[in-house]
Amino acid sequence: MSDTPVRRFGLVIGIRQECIDEYRSVHNGPGVRDLLTDAGIRNFNIFLQQLPDGEYYEFAYYEYVGNDYETDMTALNAHPRNREWLALCDPMQVPLPGQQSWIEMEQIYFNP
């Protein structure tokens, strides 16, 4: 077992309502799960919710268990299959105002 502390991430982004079914469908396949695992990411979850403003938003949660987050994310972002995946999924999403992609949320509570 590693002594490396787990880093927890919560992210949020909007999603185009007309793309929800397709977004669900592409996530039913293998996608880039192996690449995420290789990058030290585990327990990756995406949740969907329509908020009172009528828009749909995704909330993502994952844990990073590697030793060098920046290096692992650089390698993941450079991988051709991950770039193809993002080219498929990114147009379905709507970043929050002033953002270009998912925005990291502040963790305020954890119950081990």
* Number of folded domains that form the chain: 1
Is 111 within a domain? no
pLDDT tens for each residue of 35-46: 999 999 999 999
The string of pLDDT tens digits covering residues 1-33 is 456 789 999 999 999 999 999 999 999 988 899
Tell me the pTM. 0.90
Query: From CA 65, how far away is CA 8, in angstroms rounded?
Result: 9
User: Residue 85 falls within a domain, yes or no?
Assistant: yes
Residue 31 lies in a domain: yes
Range of the domain at 69: 7-105
- Specify if 79 maps to a domain: yes
Residue type, 42: R
**59 falls within a domain:** yes
User: What would the pLDDT profile of 75-111 be if each residue is shown by its tens digit?
Assistant: 999 999 999 999 999 999 999 999 999 999 999 999 9
| List of residues 6+ apart from 92 with CB closer than 8 A | 15, 16, 19, 22, 23
Instruction: Answer yes or no: is 43 within a domain.
Output: yes
- Confidence (pLDDT) at 5: 86
Q: Is the dihedral of CA 96, 41, 82, 50 positive or negative?
A: negative
Domain membership flag for residue 16: yes
CATH number, domain with residue 38 = 3.30.70.100
